[in-house]
């Protein structure tokens, strides 16, 4: 076997493994959402008929929907969001750390407190308006975003050097000069 044949085989294997990682990374959440959509589809046939009619009007019978069709499918998109809200795949977010002392609903939250957002509660709190319960918003967490470069002990900015292991799930290297991405305070 020549070197070129070995290199081509290695590239094909690398592509196959990369494809598997990408598929595995998103398949669980997609399948869970699809499974959770079966029961309401059976319970509310009129909703299914309306969505099916909208899909047929926009896409027709001979092609699959494309991203460019999304703006023309608001009812269908609303059903997808409702399925994500109703049976949330990941009901709790990853933990965040408060960056300063704060008071939240008469509770003192000291700087450095680990907090976990209860996304399920956020999406199922019917005292909130429908806009505040939009699954498209909550899917990305809650709270103010603060993207700040690392600071030295005097408070001076440290130059940013990217040291990240790249894969489907990337991990930050424990380096002081990393760009710190975080949330100031996640409200549960």
- Return the domain boundaries, the chain: 3-86, 96-183
CB 159 within 8 A of CB 178: no
Q: Is the dihedral angle over the CA atoms 97, 103, 109, 112 positive or is it negative?
A: positive
Please tell me the distance from the alpha carbon of residue 4 to that of residue 88, in angstroms, as a whole number.
48
pLDDT of residue 50: 95
Which DSSP symbol is given to 109?
E
- The reported pLDDT for the residue numbered 141 is 54
pTM, whole model, 2 decimals?
A: 0.54
Give CA–CA dist 178/159, Å, rounded.
Answer: 8
How crowded is residue 141: how many other Cβ atoms within 10 Å of its Cβ? 15
The alpha carbon torsion through 80, 84, 85, 89 (nearest 10 deg) reads 170
Q: How far is the C-alpha of 112 from the C-alpha of 97, rounded, in Å? A: 5
How far from each other are the two terminal CA atoms of the chain, in whole angstroms? 60
pLDDT score, position 73 = 94
pLDDT value for 56: 94
Cβ(90)–Cβ(119) below 8 Å: yes
Q: What is the mean pLDDT of each run of 10 residues along the chain (188 residues)?
A: 54 74 69 82 90 94 91 90 79 80 91 85 74 60 60 77 54 42 35
Beta strand 171-172 with 114-115 is unpaired
Q: Quick one: pLDDT at residue 33?
A: 80
Q: What is the pLDDT of residue 137?
A: 60
Three-state SS at 175: coil
């Amino acid at each position: 076997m020549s070197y070129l044949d070995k290199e081509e085989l290695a590239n094909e294997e690398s592509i196959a493994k990369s494809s598997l990682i990408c598929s595995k990374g998103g398949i669980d959440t997609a399948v869970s959402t699809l499974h959770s959509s079966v029961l309401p589809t059976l319970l509310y046939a009129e909703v299914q008929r309306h969505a099916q009619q909208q899909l047929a009007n926009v896409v027709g019978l001979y092609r699959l929907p494309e991203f460019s069709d999304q703006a023309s499918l608001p009812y269908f998109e609303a059903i997808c969001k409702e399925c994500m809200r109703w049976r949330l795949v990941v009901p709790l977010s990853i933990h965040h750390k408060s960056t300063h002392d704060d008071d939240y609903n008469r509770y003192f939250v000291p700087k450095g407190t680990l907090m976990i957002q209860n996304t399920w509660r956020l999406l199922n709190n019917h005292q909130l308006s429908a806009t505040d319960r939009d699954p498209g918003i909550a899917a990305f967490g809650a709270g103010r975003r603060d993207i700040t470069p690392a600071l030295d002990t005097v408070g001076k900015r440290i130059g940013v050097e990217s040291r990240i292991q790249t894969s489907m799930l990337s991990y930050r290297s424990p380096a002081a000069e990393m760009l710190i991405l975080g949330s100031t305070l996640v409200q549960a």
